[in-house]
Chains A and B, each alone.
Chain A
Amino acid sequence: MGSELSQNSVTEAKIFHSAYRTGVAILTKAYRFSVVTNIEDQKIWRLPDVPGLQTSGLSCWTVISQDRQTKLVLASGRNIYVLDSDSCTSVTVPGLDPDISSYLHMSASFNYKYLALYTNTGCIWMGTSNLKEKLGEFDCKFHAPPKQMVWCRRPRSQQPSVVLMWDSLLLVAGKSNESIQYPYDELYLVPELDGVRIIGSKSHEFLHEVPATCEEIFKIASMAPGALLLEAHKEYKKESQKADEYLREIKDQNLLPTAVEQCIEAAGFEYEPETQKMLLRAASFGKSFLSNFSPERFVTMCRELRVLNAVRDYTVGMPLTYVQFRQLTVQVLIDRLVFRRLYPLAIEICKHLKIREFQGVSHVLKHWACFKVQQKEPDEDIAHAINQKLGDTAGISYSEIAAKAYECGRPELAIMLLDFEPQSGEQVPLLLKMKRGQLALNKAIESGDTDLVYTVVMYLKNEMNRRDFFLTLRKHPVALSLYRQFCKHQEQDTLKDLYNQEDDHQELANFYVQESYQEAKVEVRVAELQKAVDEYSKARNEFAAKATEEQIKLLKFQRKLQDETDKPYVDRSLHDTVYSLLLEGSHRHAEQLYKDFKIPDKRYWWLKISALAEKNDWEELEKFSKSKKSPIGYLAFVEVCVKHQNKYEAKKYVSKVTPELKVKAHLLVGEVEQAADIAIERKNENDLNLVLSRCNQSTDRSLVERLNKARSGANKK
């Protein structure tokens, strides 16, 4: 910590709290102050020196921590100083007897809004903590400084009151001239949110201002609605008609809801279960005369009081007031019970208050389990006991418990516990931490989360030697496939090794095929393809082996051709190569490919006639048509001619077309009438329809009629 603290010894330290943090203010022998505003982050601030402190001495001081600002108020002789992080200001206390020569004690309220000063004259000054406003003063005329002086207020109360303690006396001072005094022995005062806890050697008491509601109800001869309702209920129990009178009195003023609310509220402030019950019963009685009163407040109060009564029991010993309980929240109460290992009670409370399992029962059970793993029992027993209790309880994180076990040096137990974890994904990080890579891989695969599988695979890749890594992957096909995908994108060479390792010749061959397409040089490509041929053969994929061999042959041929003609052939398909050759008139080469690669006749004919038509070589086309019987028929000839806008040539082939296709052929060359004649003659419905669909307004009417007639005839058939 700061150099100040290492040089000078600490004479006093005060701890202060706020809703968000706990801090410490430190005074050293050299009368210097330092503050740690938050013990969590341990930053230490030196406060400025207070002038003249060393000579006049320090009589008392206190911390004011408000709105993230921490100030010190200190008294030195008759001076009061306010000290903050960058200045020290002297202040005059408003409305205080100027004769005062020193302050013997000072105390800030629980919320730091108020400050009380005890002077050497026995006067108690009460005011705001910024020392700008005086709220009251009480002269107790004791010159001896009190052992303790604390505020006793409840939130939003208008009554400033301070409790002071001397050796055998407890004194409550407020605005009034009177004080309340109690004789006491040996005790200690603890200021709290809504009162003061008085802890004696044999007793524990709580002193607080009577809440306004309770006062209204229990004041003698009170006419407050709550008081009347309570009275009404008492009479009702006695079966007296007065019950009705009281009730009427409240109802006439339309105050029944207020009365019920008062009773409910007052019940919260009461400590004795009997009194609570009395008030709640009265509230319930009043409620039954109301139709629109929401039951929620009543029900909540009953539930919460039951919880409070349970924790107030001496075996638990948490005498919380209702106000404190509300301030703390149930969560904190449960945490405190858990901290005291009162697990069963905590669980009962969660169930009673219907807290969602996630924050409630599961939370408690998890803590129990984390405690359990630290016990000196055999691993199996603990794991069994934990599973027995937790089972499939919702929201339980077995991996958290396992992490705890691992932390406590029990990896075996951790693994047993992880096995219960339903979220496989959750198990993975801890397993990796424990260096159980294989197990982690299993769990990751189980979870179905591929990203998690990748996480483990990458971990294993770094942790293991390559051989073991591959062997591990082999045992897990899912991981292996994913790793392959990774390699395809990132590490091509590893991919090859993987296939080799697995003797996956088919994939290896595919790999070489892919490789060959990465290369620009034909020779290199051929070499890669040759490897592919070998692998395809090993994979007994004869078709692929042969197809690849043919591709090699084609590449070599194209290369040669390219060299000879200086035209690009490489990378064209066999079909396209032949087509180009035909277009260029290299019939010899085309023929050679046709024979070498055993191109089916039909396709070769199509290739040839399409190419001839494209280059408008009609003479050659005709010659070819007569070379032998066309394996693709003659409609194809008509089609290619029409495609290249030569109906004249097309007509030459119409007569050769087989009868069933003749209608189509005539239509293609635009001879509707001939088509119609044939269709009518053949009496084929489809043909007739076809022709009819090609007739339009310019077509001869009689032709259409003839067609329609023939069609109806065909229909009848």
Chain B
Amino acid sequence: MAAHLSYGRVNLNVLREAARKELREFLDRCAGSKEHEVEKMFTLKPGSLPPADVKNIIFFVRPKLEIMDIIAGNVKSEVKQRSHRDFHILFVPRRSLLCEQRLEEQGVLGSFINIDQYILDLIPYDGDLLSMESESAFRECYLENDQTSLYHAAKGLMTLQALYGTIPQIYGKGECARHVANMMLRMKREFAGSQNQILPVFDTLLLLDRNVDLLTPLATQLTYEGLIDEIYGITNGYAKLPPEKFIQKKQGEGGKDLPTEPKKLQLNSAEELYAEIRDKNFNAVGAVLSKKAKIISAAFEERHNAKTVGEIKQFVSQLPHMQAARSSLANHTSIAELIKDITKFATYLNYGLSRIVASEAFFDNLTVEQEFMTGVDTDKVNTYIEDCIAQKDPLIKILRLVCMQSVCNNGLKQKVLDYYKREILQTYGYEHILTLNNLEKAGLLKLQTNARNNYPTIRKTLKLWMDDVNEQNPNDISYVYSGYAPLSVRLAQILVRPGWRSIEEVLKMLPGPHFEERQQLPSGLHKKRENRTTLIFFLGGVTYAEIAALRFLSQVEEGGTEYIIASTKLINGTSWIKSLMDKLEAPPF
């Protein structure tokens, strides 16, 4: 089922199985029978429940107050219809007093036979990737000072340690990282009873606050997977793509029914081809695809050479795998074309103006981003941003650019900042004043104080910008942004070699404390291994490009460190900024 979770050095299927077992146990308690036949699954909606011939209804929800109101509505309408169903609630990942209080206020708490929690903090997404899928984590931590998600992160790390052994070394940078590490050490003391006797799988844990590196998510990701996410968005491992490029070209079929439903594709390393190209710079994907196409058609040509029965049999036995490879290739060729339409001004003369404008916009946008990242004119109002506002480009695009300029200039001058803010409010509406306020609170927009702009120092010391980037055969992580090396990943890289002591000065410029902790291992569990495994936990979200950069580091032989990546959420600049926005809407006049 989930073989791709066990490919890596750390078998994440162990975690998945542990989580499955727990879910089955809850279902046992609800149904009272050994067979957990789930009849139907519904998305939670206000109003009454859809009809189904079932006795047990299980609400499988996050502990959020809004959701409680919907559930209360569902239950009340059931009661009105005098149904004799049994209700259960399973909170993920933890029960919440406030939610239960809310249900009580709504008068439905008593209707539930089981109220329980399903402790699923970290969800395995791929062989080396875990996510808490807590989209509001960054907002809660940095805007609302609500550290619930950090508590869950610490708990999730404890679960990981119970399954994969105590992690002997913990490094961290940032306030949230410090908080999580403190909680972990405390929890370890709390559960000292069960001395963990498992040989540690992870050598090091690196906790990183997202606000240590606010720049990276703002930049447009330029890996294949990153671009799919930037343009179409990847949710829960799936991308929804425009259907027109996925029409099956079958011979003899004249029907030209254009599908209207978006094409939904699952994207993970279970798919061989995707695993190969996902982390490449988009400019290197085309070559791989055409090489693959040649190999596959050559393989199909083999059938003409098959003469004997044995050979034919051999050929037929490989057919399913070949067909899967062919359809995978077709899918990714289509996706690559879609992306190319948008990203490349070249080659697409025939598609009409809108696409050209789109691709030009993409290119111009990228140019400005790169200027900011290299420190060009970051202290003045940028004409491109001005033009984009004047043409009322999507607000999030503007916010991403303005925030990026602010981050790359260690804050903007009062005049520049006020100008942008005023332009945004005048163009997109005064209601965004709270959003701007949030961005300032999170440090994404800030006023430059008297202090010197330290971004150039950071950029130079950490080599965040590489001029001689090789997109085809990368030799440095900067290939993921075609020049910009993500700060977060640089920190991870330097930690391994030569160590953080070499960059003390820069670490002090970045927000929050940096620290190192050691966890005692029971005697006999110390291992001496050449290849080290590091768990890197992004508190506040991680982008696909950062993941790609870390995978690149895992593969570099001299490094010898393999990374397993965990995060509160998989993000990109757009989804991240969106999570920080406050939407105010007035009732109709």
Contacts and interface: CB of A to CB of B under 8 A. Distances in A.
A300 interface: no
B329 to A, nearest CB: 26
A696 B350 contact: yes
A171 interface: no
Contact of A422 (B192, B349, B390, B433): B192
A603 B390 contact: yes
A386 B552 CA distance: 54
B588 A520 contact: yes
A49 interface: no
A551 B430 contact: yes
Interface string A387-425: 000001011100000000000000000000000001110
Interface string B188-209: 0110111100000000000000
B431 A450 contact: no
B349 A481 contact: no
A485 B147 contact: no
A583 to B, nearest CB: 14
Interface stretch (A59-67, A190-198, A509-517): A509-517
B97 A454 contact: yes
7 contacts: A394-B194, A395-B192, A395-B193, A448-B147, A548-B430, A693-B347, A695-B349
B50 interface: no
A256 to B, nearest CB: 35
A575 B428 contact: yes
B426 interface: yes
Contact of A394 (B154, B195, B349, B353): B195
A525 interface: yes
Given A396-B193, A607-B390, 9 more contacts: A358-B193, A481-B144, A518-B586, A525-B586, A547-B425, A573-B428, A575-B426, A600-B386, A693-B345
A292 B89 CA distance: 53
Interface residues of A, number: 71
Interface stretch (A18-26, A257-265, A564-572): A564-572
Contact of B97 (A455, A481, A573): A455
Contacts of A570: 586, 589
A689 B433 contact: no
Given A395-B193, A517-B586, A573-B429, A481 B145 contact: yes
Given A394-B195, A519-B586, A603-B386, A575 B186 contact: no
Interface stretch (B78-86, B287-295, B416-424): B416-424
Given A451-B96, A517-B585, A571-B586, A392 B189 contact: yes
B434 interface: yes
Interface string A196-227: 00000000000000000000000000000000
A551 B430 CA distance: 7
A602 B385 CA distance: 12
A543 B95 CA distance: 43
B349 A696 contact: yes
The list of the 9 closest CB pairs from A to B, nearest first, reads A395-B193, A394-B193, A481-B145, A606-B390, A573-B429, A693-B346, A575-B427, A551-B430, A450-B148
A489 interface: yes
A696 B346 CA distance: 11
Contacts of A477: 145
Given A450-B148, A517-B585, A571-B586, A693 B349 contact: yes
Contacts of B150: 448
Contacts of B186: 422, 424, 446-448
Contacts of A152: none
A685 interface: no
Contact of B421 (A423, A446, A490, A547): A547
B556 interface: no
A568 B427 contact: no
A520 B586 contact: yes
B433 A513 contact: yes
B118 to A, nearest CB: 15
A556 to B, nearest CB: 13
B434 A510 contact: yes
A245 interface: no
Contacts, number: 151
Interface in B94-116: 94-98, 101
Contacts of A680: none
A125 to B, nearest CB: 48
B98 A454 contact: yes
B587 interface: yes
B584 interface: yes
B154 A448 contact: yes
A211 to B, nearest CB: 39
A513 B586 contact: no
A120 B427 CA distance: 113
B177 to A, nearest CB: 14
Nearest to A396: B193
B387 interface: yes
Given A448-B154, A482-B146, A689 B97 contact: no
B399 to A, nearest CB: 15
A533 B375 CA distance: 36
A573 B427 contact: yes
B183 A448 contact: yes
Dominant SS among interface residues on chain A: helix
Given A481-B145, A574-B426, A547 B433 contact: yes
B96 A573 contact: no
B430 A573 contact: yes
A520 B94 CA distance: 39
Interface string B432-476: 011001000000000000000000000000000000000000000
Q: Which of B96, B433, B588 has the most CB of A within 10 A?
A: B433
Q: Which of A519, A520, A544, A547 has the most CB of B within 10 A?
A: A547
Nearest to A668: B353
A543 B428 contact: no
B430 A554 contact: yes
Contacts of A522: 589
Nearest to A643: B353
B33 interface: no
Interface string B569-587: 0000000000000001111
A362 B96 contact: no
A447 B150 CA distance: 12
A152 B420 CA distance: 97
A615 to B, nearest CB: 17
Interface string A607-647: 10010000000000000000000001000000000110000
Contacts of B349: 693-696
A96 interface: no
B70 interface: no
A424 B182 CA distance: 13
Contacts of B422: 543, 547
A597 interface: yes
A455 to B, nearest CB: 5
Given A486-B98, A693-B349, A544 B433 contact: yes
A639 to B, nearest CB: 8
A573 B426 contact: yes
B166 to A, nearest CB: 14
A602 B390 contact: yes
A539 to B, nearest CB: 11
A551 B353 CA distance: 37
A211 B342 CA distance: 89
A131 interface: no
Nearest to A603: B390
B179 interface: yes
B317 interface: no
B203 to A, nearest CB: 25
A357 interface: yes
Contacts of A571: 429, 586, 589
B264 interface: no
B418 A448 contact: no
A448 B179 contact: yes
A477 B145 CA distance: 8
Contacts of A525: 586
A385 interface: no
Nearest to B99: A451
